[in-house]
Amino acid sequence: MSETPPVLQRMTDMWNESDPGKIRGYIDEIFSEDVIFIDPANSIVGRDAVETMVRTLRKRLPEAIVSHSSGFDGHHGLYRYHWEIHPGGELVVEGFDVSEIDSSGRVSRVEGFSCRIPES
Protein backbone atom coordinates (compact mmCIF):
# COMPACT_ATOMS: atom_id res chain seq x y z
CA MET A 1 0.00 0.00 0.00
CA SER A 2 1.08 3.54 -0.74
CA GLU A 3 0.78 6.52 1.55
CA THR A 4 -2.14 8.84 0.90
CA PRO A 5 -1.05 11.29 -1.79
CA PRO A 6 -1.72 14.77 -0.35
CA VAL A 7 -3.63 15.88 -3.47
CA LEU A 8 -6.06 12.96 -3.06
CA GLN A 9 -6.65 13.88 0.58
CA ARG A 10 -7.36 17.44 -0.60
CA MET A 11 -9.86 16.00 -3.08
CA THR A 12 -11.72 14.39 -0.16
CA ASP A 13 -11.59 17.73 1.68
CA MET A 14 -13.13 19.35 -1.43
CA TRP A 15 -16.06 16.90 -1.47
CA ASN A 16 -16.68 17.66 2.23
CA GLU A 17 -16.48 21.46 1.93
CA SER A 18 -19.73 22.98 3.15
CA ASP A 19 -18.83 26.59 2.25
CA PRO A 20 -19.74 27.07 -1.44
CA GLY A 21 -17.32 29.98 -1.67
CA LYS A 22 -14.34 27.70 -1.00
CA ILE A 23 -15.10 24.91 -3.47
CA ARG A 24 -13.48 26.57 -6.53
CA GLY A 25 -10.25 27.18 -4.61
CA TYR A 26 -9.93 23.45 -3.96
CA ILE A 27 -10.66 22.63 -7.59
CA ASP A 28 -8.02 25.02 -8.95
CA GLU A 29 -5.46 23.59 -6.49
CA ILE A 30 -6.26 19.90 -7.09
CA PHE A 31 -7.13 19.42 -10.75
CA SER A 32 -5.42 20.04 -14.07
CA GLU A 33 -7.33 22.46 -16.31
CA ASP A 34 -8.50 19.70 -18.63
CA VAL A 35 -9.17 17.05 -15.99
CA ILE A 36 -11.31 14.11 -17.10
CA PHE A 37 -13.77 12.73 -14.53
CA ILE A 38 -15.78 9.64 -15.41
CA ASP A 39 -18.11 7.69 -13.14
CA PRO A 40 -21.49 5.97 -13.60
CA ALA A 41 -23.34 9.31 -13.43
CA ASN A 42 -20.80 11.65 -15.08
CA SER A 43 -18.45 11.97 -18.02
CA ILE A 44 -17.00 15.44 -17.79
CA VAL A 45 -13.95 17.44 -18.80
CA GLY A 46 -12.53 20.53 -17.10
CA ARG A 47 -12.54 22.31 -13.78
CA ASP A 48 -15.86 24.10 -14.38
CA ALA A 49 -17.61 20.77 -14.88
CA VAL A 50 -16.03 19.39 -11.70
CA GLU A 51 -17.26 22.45 -9.81
CA THR A 52 -20.82 21.85 -11.06
CA MET A 53 -20.60 18.19 -10.02
CA VAL A 54 -19.37 19.01 -6.49
CA ARG A 55 -21.96 21.75 -5.98
CA THR A 56 -24.71 19.37 -7.15
CA LEU A 57 -23.67 16.77 -4.58
CA ARG A 58 -23.48 19.38 -1.80
CA LYS A 59 -26.99 20.65 -2.66
CA ARG A 60 -28.47 17.15 -2.90
CA LEU A 61 -26.75 15.80 0.23
CA PRO A 62 -25.64 18.81 2.29
CA GLU A 63 -24.76 16.69 5.34
CA ALA A 64 -22.80 14.10 3.34
CA ILE A 65 -19.37 13.03 4.52
CA VAL A 66 -17.07 11.53 1.89
CA SER A 67 -14.27 9.38 3.28
CA HIS A 68 -11.62 6.94 2.15
CA SER A 69 -12.48 3.40 3.23
CA SER A 70 -9.18 1.80 2.22
CA GLY A 71 -5.54 2.54 1.83
CA PHE A 72 -4.00 3.62 -1.47
CA ASP A 73 -2.35 1.39 -4.02
CA GLY A 74 -0.28 3.29 -6.52
CA HIS A 75 2.28 3.16 -9.29
CA HIS A 76 3.36 5.42 -12.18
CA GLY A 77 1.13 8.29 -11.04
CA LEU A 78 -1.98 6.07 -10.80
CA TYR A 79 -3.74 5.46 -7.47
CA ARG A 80 -6.70 3.25 -6.62
CA TYR A 81 -8.69 3.48 -3.41
CA HIS A 82 -12.15 2.85 -1.97
CA TRP A 83 -14.48 5.59 -0.73
CA GLU A 84 -17.86 5.94 0.98
CA ILE A 85 -20.51 8.64 1.27
CA HIS A 86 -22.44 8.96 4.54
CA PRO A 87 -25.12 11.63 5.01
CA GLY A 88 -26.25 11.65 8.62
CA GLY A 89 -24.10 8.60 9.42
CA GLU A 90 -25.93 6.29 6.98
CA LEU A 91 -23.95 4.69 4.14
CA VAL A 92 -25.66 5.66 0.86
CA VAL A 93 -23.00 4.74 -1.69
CA GLU A 94 -19.58 3.17 -1.77
CA GLY A 95 -17.15 2.62 -4.57
CA PHE A 96 -13.61 3.01 -5.76
CA ASP A 97 -11.65 5.39 -7.93
CA VAL A 98 -8.54 5.18 -10.02
CA SER A 99 -6.98 8.64 -10.13
CA GLU A 100 -4.05 9.83 -12.19
CA ILE A 101 -1.69 12.49 -10.88
CA ASP A 102 0.26 14.40 -13.53
CA SER A 103 3.85 15.67 -13.38
CA SER A 104 2.69 18.96 -11.81
CA GLY A 105 1.13 17.05 -8.89
CA ARG A 106 -2.46 17.70 -9.95
CA VAL A 107 -5.19 15.16 -10.65
CA SER A 108 -5.59 14.81 -14.41
CA ARG A 109 -8.09 11.94 -14.53
CA VAL A 110 -10.53 10.18 -12.21
CA GLU A 111 -12.30 6.97 -13.16
CA GLY A 112 -14.90 6.11 -10.55
CA PHE A 113 -16.98 3.04 -9.93
CA SER A 114 -19.92 2.81 -7.52
CA CYS A 115 -20.39 -0.21 -5.25
CA ARG A 116 -18.29 -3.30 -4.98
CA ILE A 117 -17.69 -5.61 -7.93
CA PRO A 118 -20.27 -8.40 -7.71
CA GLU A 119 -19.12 -11.97 -7.16
CA SER A 120 -19.28 -14.08 -10.30
More confident residue, 41 or 118: 41
Q: 86 pLDDT band (50/70/90 cuts)?
A: very high
> What's the pLDDT score for residue 1?
58
Q: For residue range 35-50, what is the model confidence (pLDDT) as tens digits? A: 999 999 999 999 999 9
> What's the pLDDT score for residue 44?
98
Residue 60's Cβ-count burial label (10 Å; 0-12, 13-18, 19+) is exposed
Beta-carbon contacts of residue 4 (< 8 Å; ≥ 6 apart): 68, 71, 72
Q: What is the pTM of this model?
A: 0.91
Question: Domains of the chain, with CATH numbers?
Answer: 6-114 (3.10.450.50)
Question: Phi-psi bin for 76: left (phi > 0), alpha (psi -120 to 50), beta?
Answer: left
